[in-house]
Amino acid sequence: MSSKRQGFSQVEILIAVAVLTVGILGVCATFAFALRAETQAGALTDAVTHARTLTELVRVQNLPFSAPAGQPGLYDSAGTRRPLNYAPFADKLPADTIFTRNILIERRSGATPATAYLNNIARITVSVYWNDHGTERKVTLVSEHRQP
């Protein structure tokens, strides 16, 4: 009879545990990355939705041609951040969100008869901002609106 012992040595078990630990850590890192990516994608989707909603509100209400020039909330300068539901949209958008906005309406102008059609066109630029782990993110939507 043979007196050989069958089984695994401590070194083999130690190596197997180390390999298994590295694999489990990789899976955990993947879950953490996926969770953060899902959160960022959700915020980006919300920001695009808010930008589209703001653009449509400006267009539906014909604000480029009916609101007074220079009205705060519609003719914002670069760098201005207003709450998402700032006037004239106080009752149309949620009040407590992570988002802020900037809307700039630029009336086009045509000086010659060949470019007179530009007098009835406005460029609407809507930017929606939010903070993502200390980094400011932004979605900008630019559209043209013709006076009805």
- The number of distinct structural domains making up the chain is 1
pTM: 0.79
* pLDDT recorded at residue 2: 59
Does some domain include residue 2?
A: no
* pLDDT recorded at residue 8: 81
* pLDDT recorded at residue 142: 96
Does some domain include residue 4?
A: no
pLDDT tens for each residue of 111-121? 788 888 888 99
What are the residues whose beta carbons fall under 8 Å from the beta carbon of 91, sequence distance 6 or more?
85
pLDDT tens for each residue of 34-57? 998 898 999 999 999 999 999 999
Q: Which of 136, 77, 85, 82 is nearest to 104 (CA)?
A: 77
Does some domain include residue 72?
A: yes
User: What is the mean predicted confidence (pLDDT) over 63-86?
Assistant: 89
- How many CB atoms neighbour CB 47 within 10 A? 24
For the chain, first and last CA: distance in Å? Answer: 101
